[in-house]
Structure 1
Amino acid sequence: MTEQTKKLYDLAQPVFAVAPMLDWTDRHCRSYHRVLSRNTLLYTEMITTGALIHGDRDRHLNFDRSEQPVACQLGGSDPKALAECAKMIEEWGYDEVNLNVGCPSDRVQNGSFGACLMLQPQLVGECIAAMKDAVSIPVTTKCRIGVDEQEPEEALRALVDEVLKAGTDAIWVHARKAWLQGLSPKENRDVPPLDYELVYRLKEEHPDVFIGINGGIATLEETETHLGKVNGVMMGRAAYHSPMLLASVDRRIYGADTPDISAEEAVNAYIPYIVKELEKGTKLSQITRHMLGTYQGVPGARHFRRIMTTEAVKTGAGIEVVEQAMAAVSQPKVGGFGADEPEGIGATAF
């Protein structure tokens, strides 16, 4: 555990985190985000207990130490298995282990974990307690405000009461319900209405507990507003699609007396990592797919993305592709892909 993580949940300072996102927040994504912000708390994708107990642990758990502070999110509902996996995570060197009580996908429903656990708060408490007994790193909970026909005020409080009794070190709340039937995982990120006020009330009721908020947060201005009410903000898709947003986090959220890193500086700082991974046999596209939004809104950004998406997938693609893409931004063409573009990233970019 890093010294920074030991202090994360003592309520002494706000915490800004990038949410765990399946297929997105892999080790390459986290390594790039760390170039942009020294202090942001990063999360792995959700890893199931079955994958760790029966699968390739190296593939699931290996990470670059430069990523720290980094938390590993677990999916599961068996206290014994979760405790076993939490111990693995601690031994691997992660700074925190987090229990997923919010994912509504068919995969987690079939395994009766994730958002399904909102219906079994006592079991969630048993899971957290077992994990706390197994490790010394922080054990945290990420939940929804309810599922299906649950009344959110009652469902959230029932869950919170159980995990607090079990000793959870922090509670991250995605401020939407999840609908286990009738909505896709994507729709569950947008369709159920947000209820930030409920999370604010939860914090008022538990002034000595770390409460973080997640869901629909897209800017640092919104982040600063939330931090007037709760202890932490977790940002998901906005941070992924517009990674340069993270370049201001250390200064604006953590009060660091350092200049924001520029897009060019960020890419140049990331190149040694790319080279190292290429030497290990990692495909360039697996690394650079997380960088596509770096120059969002800048002349030449579309050309940058086109080169990174079409050239990086080719057999033998190397660092020269990144250099070519950067040159397209510094010397954009007139018209076509190099032209100035409206704010936002086109639908074909991701």
Structure 2
Amino acid sequence: MAPMADVTDVAFRALVAARGAPNVFWTEFVSADGLYHTREIAKMPDAENPLMRDLLFDTSERPIVAQIFSSKPEMIAYATKLVAELGFDGVDINMGCPDRAIEKQGCGAAMIKNPKLAREILRAAQAASTLPVSVKTRVGYNKESLDEWLTALLEANPAAITLHLRTRKEMSLVPADWELMKKAVEIRDRVNPDVLLIGNGDVQDLADGRAKVAESGCDGAMLGRAMFGNPWVFSGLVRAGERGNKSESPAPISPSTGSNAQNEKDHFFENAAQSRNRPSASECAADKPSREIGAGVQPTQRDKLNALVELAHGFEKISPPKNFAILKKHIKAFVTGFDGAADLRARLMQAESAAELEKTILDAPVPRV
């Protein structure tokens, strides 16, 4: 599951976990500087801190990685220690976000232009805890620069690198170039073969991910926009000894309640690195994935609307509360593809609560197929 701001929060992850979880969950990205200043300078209680809200997770989401960003090694070290205390299974450094506000801080994709600082950032995170440290980035800034950029990251020995197969300049305006993953694998194998390489960009579903992994030779695929309106996207992945009944969405828990979970850690990065040459090296391995690939689920339109209602109620439980208007991007994704969808979408956009959204949906004449 790709980390996406105002999308992959605890409510949406719970929705996905109840229907078939990915091999690894990622949180939304969180400012390491913001965590330090709100907690240590402003002395904001964690229960009132919106940044700590973004680090809420449920045990059904394990293994789960917290994604953070900063251009200051000391801030990354602080946030990494906090993430470890909260019970996460790994920490990921965002070095690919193209948002200008993030780049003005020297963070996100701006890091591609400063390989030396990027290595310092990764090493600060590695020294701050025993958690696996990974990085998510792009293949270059204005143009592809894998030889320099990927080599610099590999020299810092992260547990894994997720490559969005577009440059910063390309944003998401052009197709992801999966041919570049073949070059990335060659560089990885030459410089540091122990590092996992995960591909990201235009992965449509599990079958597409498996095909891209088999073709490129990387270790896994990360799904992003394919999740919009489709929390069943991972339903073909079934863990051996799957925990519990997933028919009900788990309730969000305080991050601190996960702090005793050290013994449950999956060490997924280390295990995957050791088993790359085995068929089960990744969820998208060419022969036999680490979870059995099933037929998946074909939800009806009513199923999708029920999931949207469930998401809205879960969203309202997040504390401190988020602006209900954030759900509009989910409304657009879930309510589509049937007669009357445009009219229903327009009415749902006016909803200001989960109860109002649910009533509007229940009153709507929606086909069951």
> Does the 8 Å contact 2:96/2:137 carry over to 1?
yes
Q: CA distance change for structure 1 residues 304 and 136 in 2, over 3 Å: closer, same or farther?
A: farther
Structure-2 residue corresponding to 1:38:
21
CA RMSD of aligned residues (A): 3.4
Deviations along 1:260-299, one digit per CA (max 9) or x if unpaired, are 3564678778978865765677579468657533465467
Secondary structure at the residue paired with 1:260? coil
Unaligned runs of 5+ in 1: 1-17, 180-186, 333-337, 341-350
> Does the 8 Å contact 2:15/2:310 carry over to 1?
no
The whole-number CA distance in structure 1 between the counterparts of 2:15 and 2:325 is: 12
Secondary structure at the residue paired with 1:99? strand
Structure-2 residue corresponding to 1:222:
208
**1:82 to partner: Cα distance:** 0.6
Aligned letter for 2:54? H
Secondary structure at the residue paired with 1:227? helix
Using CA pairs below 8 Å that are at least 6 residues apart, which structure has the higher relative contact order? 2
Deviations along 1:174-193, one digit per CA (max 9) or x if unpaired, are 111112xxxxxxx61114x6
The whole-number CA distance in structure 1 between the counterparts of 2:198 and 2:340 is: 37
**1:224 to partner: Cα distance:** 1.8
The whole-number CA distance in structure 2 between the counterparts of 1:206 and 1:177 is: 19
The whole-number CA distance in structure 1 between the counterparts of 2:368 and 2:313 is: 30
Kindly indicate whether residue 90 of structure 2 is the aligned counterpart of residue 96 of structure 1. Answer: yes
Deviations along 1:298-337, one digit per CA (max 9) or x if unpaired, are 67765764564333x25xx42x743762674xx53xxxxx
Aligned letter for 1:42? F
Bigger mean CA deviation after superposition, 197-206 or 80-89: 197-206
1:1-80 correspondence runs (5 A) = 18-55=1-38, 56=49, 57-80=51-74
The whole-number CA distance in structure 1 between the counterparts of 2:177 and 2:200 is: 11
The whole-number CA distance in structure 2 between the counterparts of 1:70 and 1:287 is: 23
How many corresponding residue pairs?
300
Q: CA distance change for structure 1 residues 277 and 234 in 2, over 3 Å: closer, same or farther?
A: closer
Structure-2 residue corresponding to 1:171:
161
The whole-number CA distance in structure 1 between the counterparts of 2:327 and 2:358 is: 8
Q: CA distance change for structure 1 residues 326 and 258 in 2, over 3 Å: closer, same or farther?
A: farther
Match of 1:123 among 117, 124, 140: 117
Deviations along 1:147-174, one digit per CA (max 9) or x if unpaired, are 12x5x2xx32323333223220001111
Aligned letter for 1:231? D
Match of 1:159 among 149, 152, 165: 149
Secondary structure at the residue paired with 1:115? helix
The whole-number CA distance in structure 2 between the counterparts of 1:257 and 1:242 is: 17
> Does the 8 Å contact 1:35/1:270 carry over to 2?
no
Aligned letter for 2:111? L
Bigger mean CA deviation after superposition, 132-141 or 261-270: 261-270
Q: Report the TM-score when normalising by structure 1.
A: 0.72
**1:124 to partner: Cα distance:** 0.9
Q: CA distance change for structure 1 residues 144 and 70 in 2, over 3 Å: closer, same or farther?
A: same
Secondary structure at the residue paired with 2:208? helix
Structure-2 residue corresponding to 1:5:
none
Bigger mean CA deviation after superposition, 168-177 or 201-210: 201-210
Aligned letter for 2:177? D
Structure-1 residue corresponding to 2:221:
233
The whole-number CA distance in structure 2 between the counterparts of 1:248 and 1:326 is: 29
Q: CA distance change for structure 1 residues 278 and 211 in 2, over 3 Å: closer, same or farther?
A: closer
**1:88 to partner: Cα distance:** 0.7
Q: CA distance change for structure 1 residues 35 and 323 in 2, over 3 Å: closer, same or farther?
A: farther
1:219-298 correspondence runs (5 A) = 219-228=205-214, 229-250=217-238, 253=284, 254=289, 255-256=291-292, 260-261=296-297, 263=299, 278=316, 282=321, 285=324, 289=328, 292=331, 293-294=333-334, 296-297=336-337
Unaligned runs of 5+ in 2: 39-48, 240-282
**1:233 to partner: Cα distance:** 0.9
1:188-227 correspondence runs (5 A) = 188-191=171-174, 194-207=176-189, 208=193, 209-227=195-213
Deviations along 1:97-150, one digit per CA (max 9) or x if unpaired, are 1111111221122111211111111211111111111122211011111112x5
Secondary structure at the residue paired with 1:129? helix
Q: CA distance change for structure 1 residues 70 and 339 in 2, over 3 Å: closer, same or farther?
A: closer
The whole-number CA distance in structure 2 between the counterparts of 1:33 and 1:289 is: 18
**1:243 to partner: Cα distance:** 3.5
